[in-house]
Chain A
Amino acid sequence: MTNARANRISKSMLNEWYWGWFLVAPTIVGLIILNIIPIGQTLYMSFFKSGDFGKGNLFVGFDNYRKLLSDDQVWHAVKNTLLYAVMVVPTSIVIALIAAVLMNGKLRGKSLYRTIYFIPMIAAPAAVTMVWRWLYNTKFGLINYGLSKLGLGPVDWTTDPNVALVSIAIIGIWSVVGYNMVLLLAGLQEIPRDYYEASEIDGAGKLRQFVVVTVPLLSPALFFVLVTSIIQAMQVFDVIYMMIDIQNPAYDNTVSLVYLFYNNSFKYSNKGYGSAIVMLLLAIIMIITVIQMRAQKKWVKYM
């Protein structure tokens, strides 16, 4: 009796499982081949002094990590990377949130604005950086020209060690706002109108509505945007690579972990050390993400 029933249940369950696995298989396979295996290989590589062209790798144990700990440049890069994330993430989310709320309201030409905000996301980072480089140009750039019209002195946007990271963060914010806005906009449209109507009847003003209805109900979307933005910011590379050469006086103040990884792995052909740098980045991102997952219980409200 019991046997037969168990059988019946498991049959339909099995069927469901098969379909479930079948449907996620493409993603899983892709993940394993393109991501999981490379992670393992990178970790493995970080214990080796890499030979040229993948030949003659020499096992060195923790040497790469020991070198990492005593390498000033790595810690500069950690600092720069974190600083960049701190500058870009909150600013871009606040701007994106404001833009999303405005786009969600009654606004003429809404879809046009949405498109405009999203364009930086579509443009190739390299092309974007070339344009910004011209804007930032000390002698002939549009920004310094504007400043001179206002009676202000020129700023060395890309070579002043105190300014360069800010210049890069501005590009970062500019490129990511549109994408975050679209995600938040999707979150906003999930919020049922009823809540707003109910709160209106209770006498809540627009601002109060925003605080007690919009933000809590948007928190899952906000959380998603926050986590992905931080991860993305931690991996900043293209813009810095395009804008800051090793000769640049601001190099030490702008070099990011991924840039350092690139230089070591590909320019200096030291893939073992490059791998160790990436493992450090992975560890940092993992720690930040775990903290966020824990913290979400405190503020993220799922409907």
Chain B
Amino acid sequence: MKKKGLSMLLVLMVLMAVVSACGSSGSSSSSDKETNQAPAVKSEGNSDTAEPKASGEEVTLTYAMWDSNQAKGLQTIVDEFEKENPGIKVKIEVTGWSDYWTMLEAGATGGSLPDVFWMHSNEIYRYASNDMLLDLSDRIKNSQKVEMDKFPTGLTQIYNFEGKQYAIPKDFDTIGLWYNKTMFDEAKLAYPNENWTWDDLYKAAKALTKNGKYGILTPFHNQEGYYNFVYQNDGTIITADKKSGYDDPNTIEALKYYINFIREGLSPEVYGDSERAEAMQNGLAAMGFFGSWNLSGFTANEYMAKNFDVAPLPKGKKQATIFNGLGNAIAHNTKHPEEAWKFVEYLSSKEGQFRQAELGIAISAYDGAAEQWVSSNTTFHVKAFVDMVKYAVIRPYSNTTAVWEDKAYEALKPAFTGQQTVEEAAKNAAKIMNESLATEK
């Protein structure tokens, strides 16, 4: 009897355990991979979560985002918006980057998307092509406040699907060359400037590498790493007709230059995201590449604030930096489309965009607002990020970016560890990426 009971129990446990693996892994992965991010889900602002009544007295919108660094500043904007628009409340909900998309997908599948939320170039296709987002085209046309031509075309284009505008750019980000002033001073080298070339970078890296310190950090990272160099060398990651650019000779040449820093021992081999920041914050490497979104984290870091500054990326055959921008989108099935639009309209208006820049939340995409942002940070010469916009290249994307980006990572890995030549790895990456792109709709 006892034995039978035990075996029954075990069978049930097997079933339960296996299936709960499917069920829970989505949600149990709650904590973010990036160390410096806030708790996975954090809601700020109004304690007033009461559902709006049919009377139309008060409407509560949810505004979902993934960057806790921006949430505080945006709360200020929300507060101001609420003051001007009595009857509309906005509740900010922050979820870490990787869980954000799991959350959003579950919301889209179950019909419970947040009213207003951030969109990204990697994901826009899926949401737009499946009608998950509210088409904003007509509303933009009729709006007095939103002028699409005040935003960089590349950015508005990301969120335009089959002629319909599904999101409005909120901000943009570029990649800068961060350098350790103290280490440069010790080596009696001049600081990097906007006229630097690849040769200058190489020479400085060489001069700075000594006593167990590295001159530069060339991490295994695309957007904050080799993508920039590929475009500086006239190479490409994805061509206009959706083919991989990894077998382009210029791309390979750029990768060789980039990986050579590791081979010559001028850069440590770094793979993880948090390890990259660590290497800078511990004075292990004198130069590194980081996006403008790291700014608040770096400003808060005592060592970085004291020793570091930022310059534009060096010039290869031409100047280039990867830039990208997220957009504000509205759910297709929001209960309050008018109120949600009012909020997005405000965020995208000249007033809202300048306010965002002034508060230092992010580099506002609106024409001229970026200068406001520059003066919000006095710790570093952040103007470099804005100066680079004129030659910035949109982060390469297609309909299934998340898939082929990872495939390319896997294929390029042996080149970074030195198990394969750069040429072989890059050609392999091109092959795998093309296979993946071929299955794209």
Contact = CB atoms under 8 A, between A and B. Distances in A.
B19 A247 contact: no
Interface in A84-113: none
| Max count, chain A CB within 10 A of own CB: residue among B23, B105, B129 | B105
Contact of B33 (A245, A289, A302): A245
Interface string B409-433: 1100100110000000000000000
Contact of A237 (B21, B129, B273, B410): B21
A286 B19 CA distance: 12
Given A38-B22, A245-B271, A227 B10 contact: yes
A212 interface: no
A223 B101 CA distance: 41
* Secondary structure call for the B interface: helix
Given A53-B130, A278-B21, A247 B413 contact: yes
B6 interface: yes
A47 interface: no
A286 B10 CA distance: 11
Interface in B94-143: 98, 101-102, 105, 108-109, 126, 129-130, 132
B31 A126 contact: yes
B21 A268 contact: no
Contacts of A266: 26, 101-102, 105
* Secondary structure call for the A interface: helix
A238 B28 contact: yes
Interface in B5-21: 6-7, 10-21
Interface residues of A, number: 60
B282 A237 contact: no
A23 B271 CA distance: 53
Interface stretch (A144-152, A196-204, A228-236): A228-236
Contacts, number: 144
A223 B7 CA distance: 10
A132 B274 CA distance: 14
A11 B18 CA distance: 39
Nearest to B32: A126
Contacts of B102: 266
B59 to A, nearest CB: 26
A45 B28 CA distance: 22
A210 interface: no
B200 interface: no
Contacts of A245: 33, 271-273
Given A54-B109, A246-B406, A247-B272, A282 B29 contact: no
A186 interface: no
Contacts of B12: 31
A54 B109 CA distance: 6
B35 interface: yes
A238 B29 contact: yes
Contact of A246 (B108, B400, B410): B410
Contacts of B284: 139
B29 A262 contact: yes
Contacts of A38: 19, 22-23
A29 interface: no
A289 B10 contact: yes
A235 B21 contact: yes
Contact of A235 (B11, B17, B109, B278): B17
The 4 closest A-B pairs by CB, nearest first: A126-B31, A35-B19, A235-B21, A54-B109
Interface of B: 2-3, 6-7, 10-23, 25-26, 28-31, 33, 35, 98, 101-102, 105, 108-109, 126, 129-130, 132, 220-221, 268-269, 271-275, 278-279, 282, 284, 400, 402-403, 406, 409-410, 413, 416-417
8 contacts: A31-B16, A35-B15, A130-B35, A238-B28, A247-B220, A266-B102, A266-B105, A278-B22
